[in-house]
Amino acid sequence: MAFLVFFLSNLVLTLFAAIITTFISPAAAGSGIPEVKAYLNGVDAPGIISLRTLIVKIIGSISAVSSSLLVGKAGPMMHIGACIASFLGQGGSRRYGLTWKWIRFFKNDRDRRDLVTCGSAAGIAAAFRAPVGGVLFALEEMASWWTSGLLWRAFFTTAVVAIILRALIDVCLSGKCGLFGKGGLIMFDVYSANISYHMADVPPVLLLGVVGGILGSLYNFLLDKVLRVYAIINKKSVTYKIFIACTISIFTSCLLFGLPWLASCQPCPLDSTEDCPTIGRSGNYKKFQCPPGHYNDLASLIFNTNDDAIRNLFSKNTDAEFQHSTMLIFFVTCFILSIISYGVVAPAGLFVPVIVTGASYGRFVGMLFSSHTNLNHGLFAVLGAASFLGGSMRMTVSLCVIILELTNNLLLLPMIMIVLLVSKTVADAFNGNIYDLIMKAKGFPYLEVHVEPYMRQLTVADVVTGPLQVCHGNEKVGNIVHILKTTNHQGFPVIDEPPHSESPVLYGLILRAHLITLLKKRVFLRTPVRIGSDAFRHFSADEFAKKGLGNVDKIEDIKLTEEEMEMFLDLHPFTNASPYTVVETMSLAKASTLFREVGLRHLLVIPKRTTGSPVVGILTRHDFMPEHVLGLHPLLVNSKWKPLRIALPRFLKIF
C-alpha cells in the first residue's frame, strides 16, 4: 500500500509538470541557467523569459521537485528571478493588461540585460540563502558584460532577498509553513569550532579533488549524450515527451522504494541527540521496515527531501551512522538518476542533485580514509560536494562562497579552495562545463571570451556570405516589402548613390523592426526626396522601442495598395548613421573580440578600396561560430590540433 501511494503520487506530479510544460511553455523545461546565460550573451531566443514561462516554471518546478525525481530547485529559481526582472524591464505585459508607465524608462536592451542579471543573482541567493554567493554566481557564470554599477545593483538585490527571507523565516517559525522555517539562513549548519587539520590531511583531500574532477567530466559527458538522445526522441511528437517523463518517474519510484531493502537495519545510537527512529518527515533515522530500536540508513537518505538528505550527509558526529555499502549504493543511484531525470520535459535543476551526489561520494571517501585523517565524515561530504560541483560546473569563487554560506564553515575555506581548483583543472582536460555543453546541444550561438586560434589565420572577408541585401536612402516601398518578405535578416545596410551623393557611400544601418514600423505608419512620399527631422513629428519614442514577446509586428500583417507600393520612404532620419564597421582585411579574431566586448548584433564589413560597392557584407554572431567558420574552411579542422601536436611531444620529452 505504501508503494502504491508513493508510486501514484510521484507519477501524477511528474505527469502534471510534463503536461503544463509541453503544452503551455516548452521553454520552461530544464534548469533555465543555459538559456538565461545565452540571453545575457546576446541570444534572444523566443519564450526564454516570458510571463508564460515564469508561471509554468513556478508551478512545474514545485511539482517536479515534489515528485521524487532527482532534480533541483536552484536553476528554476534563478530562471524565475530572470523572468520577473525581464517582465519589469519591458514595462509589464500588454497581452495580460499588466503595464506600468513608470517602468518604461527601463525599456531598452542595456537596462533589461542588467535587470535580468540582477534577477538571476536574486534567484540563486533565494535558493541557497546565499546573498554574496548569488552575486558572485551572476558575475562568474551568467554575465558576459559586467560593470561596477551592475555589481552594486546586484548586491543590493540579493541584500533585499536576504532580508525578506529572514522575515519570512521568522513568520514561519510557528510551524505553519512546513519545513520552510527550519534552519534560519544557514541551510546546512556544519560549523565546528574544534576543526583542526594537518599536512597529513592534504593528500586525501587532493585525491578527492582529482577523482571529483574525473567524475564531474564523466557526468558532463554522459548527461550531454543523454540530452541529445532525448532531443531526438522529443522531436517525434508530444506523446513521446510525456511518455519519457512518465517512464523515468516509474523507474525512479521502483528504484527508490526497492533499494532500502538491500540495506541492513542498524541499532539506534545511544548518544543520539534526536529521536531514533525518526518521528515525522525529516531526520537521520528512518525506520522503514526495521524492528523497534533500529533504523535503515539508506532509507534515511532516500525517503527525505534533497535538502534533508544533504543535511544528513553533512552532519557532524555521525561517523558510525552510515555503512560503506549504503554510501556506495546511494552515490551510484544519485549519479544515474540525476542524469536521466534532467532531460525530462519539466523544470529541473542540476545544482542540488550534483551536491547530493558529490556529498555521498565525499562521505564514502571519508569512510575509506577515516583511520588516516582528522577530518570527520561530514566534512569529507562537504569537500566531496565541492569537488563534484567544481568538476561539473567549473566555477571556483562563487561555488566556494555558496558552500561557505550554506555550511557556515569558514575554517574549512583553504580545503574547499584547493578541492575546487584541483577538480576544475582536472575536468577541464576532458570537456567543458555542463552549462556550455547544454547550450551547444540546444544550438545557442554563444560567443566565448577567447577566440579559436585558427581565427587568427582568417580575415572577416573569408567568412562573409551573401547575397547582401541593401536599402537605399530613398527606397521604394515595394522594394522594402520584397526584402522583408524574402529574408529573415534583422538589419540592413543603407547606402546613398548618385544623384543623392557624388559616389556610392555607406550611410548606416537600419533594423527590420524599424522598417516595419515605418510601413505600418505609412509615412510615404510620392517622390524620392529627403524630409529631414520633420519625419519625427509622426512618431513617438515608444513606437521604436523593443517590443515584448508576442507583440512583434510582422510584415505579413501589413496590407498595402498598389499605389502605396510605388511610393517612397526616406530612411535617413531612422537609420543608425554611425554603425560599427571593420575593413575586409581585418583579422577575424580581432573582429570577434570587438563584436563580443561591445555587445553588437551587426558588424558591417567595408572594402579596403573605395571602388565598387561601399559595403562588402554584414557579420552577425552566427558568422563567428566555429561550425560556420570550419564549414567554409574545412582544412582548418586539422590545424586546430596543430599546436597540440607540436606541444605534446615537447611536454613528454621533459619527463
Q: Residue 537 is part of a domain; what is its CATH number?
A: 3.10.580.10
- pLDDT tens track for 173-214: 776 676 655 555 666 766 555 666 777 778 888 999 999 999
Q: Which helix H or strand E contains 99, and what residues bound it? A: strand 98-99
> Count of domains in the chain?
3
Q: What's residue 193's pLDDT?
A: 54
In this prediction, residue 646 has a pLDDT band, given cuts at 50, 70 and 90, of very low
Based on the fold, state whether residues 35 and 125 are members of the same structural domain.
Answer: yes
Q: Which of 14, 22, 119 is nearest to 76 (CA)?
A: 119
Q: What's residue 124's pLDDT?
A: 94
pLDDT at 550 over 70: no
3-state class (DSSP) for residue 572: helix
Which of 106, 141, 174 is a domain's end point?
174
Q: What's residue 613's pLDDT?
A: 81
In this prediction, residue 34 has a pLDDT band, given cuts at 50, 70 and 90, of very high
Overall average pLDDT of the 47-60 stretch = 90
C-alpha cell at 406: 550554506
Based on the fold, state whether residues 226 and 98 are members of the same structural domain.
Answer: no
Residue 447 lies in a domain: no
Q: What's residue 179's pLDDT?
A: 61
In this prediction, residue 80 has a pLDDT band, given cuts at 50, 70 and 90, of very high
Based on the fold, state whether residues 468 and 352 are members of the same structural domain.
Answer: no
Residue 6 lies in a domain: yes
In this prediction, residue 551 has a pLDDT band, given cuts at 50, 70 and 90, of low
Based on the fold, state whether residues 526 and 592 are members of the same structural domain.
Answer: yes
Residue 557 lies in a domain: yes
Based on the fold, state whether residues 205 and 341 are members of the same structural domain.
Answer: yes
User: For residue 617, what are the CA distances in angstroms to 235, 392, 466, 486, 634?
Assistant: 35, 40, 7, 18, 22
Based on the fold, state whether residues 438 and 484 are members of the same structural domain.
Answer: no
As a whole number, the mean pLDDT across the chain is 84
Residue 451 lies in a domain: no
Question: What percent of the chain clears pLDDT 90, i.e. is strictly above it?
Answer: 37
Based on the fold, state whether residues 151 and 227 are members of the same structural domain.
Answer: no
Residue 564 lies in a domain: yes
Residue 654 lies in a domain: no
- Bridge partner residues of 493 (DSSP): 509
Q: What's residue 650's pLDDT?
A: 43
Which of 391, 414, 442 is a domain's end point?
442
Based on the fold, state whether residues 401 and 474 are members of the same structural domain.
Answer: no
What are residue 587's phi and psi, to 5 degrees? -60, 140
Based on the fold, state whether residues 428 and 527 are members of the same structural domain.
Answer: no
- pLDDT tens track for 617-636: 899 999 998 888 888 888 77
CATH number at residue 36: 1.10.3080.10
Q: Which of 392, 344, 394, 383 is nearest to 360 (CA)?
A: 383
- pLDDT tens track for 286-333: 888 888 888 888 888 888 888 888 888 888 777 778 888 889 999 999
Based on the fold, state whether residues 432 and 487 are members of the same structural domain.
Answer: no
Residue 11 lies in a domain: yes
Question: Between 272 and 114, where is the model more confident?
Answer: 114
Residue 19 lies in a domain: yes
Q: Which helix H or strand E contains 493, and what residues bound it? A: strand 491-496
Q: How far apart are CA 632 and CA 324, in angstroms?
A: 55
- pLDDT tens track for 370-429: 777 778 888 889 999 999 999 999 999 999 999 988 888 787 888 899 999 999 999 999
Q: Which of 148, 151, 157 is nearest to 126 (CA)?
A: 157
Domain holding 252, by residue range, is 199-442
Question: What percent of the chain clears pLDDT 70, i.e. is strictly above it?
Answer: 87
Based on the fold, state whether residues 411 and 477 are members of the same structural domain.
Answer: no
Based on the fold, state whether residues 465 and 436 are members of the same structural domain.
Answer: no
Sign of torsion over alpha carbons 253, 255, 261, 267: negative
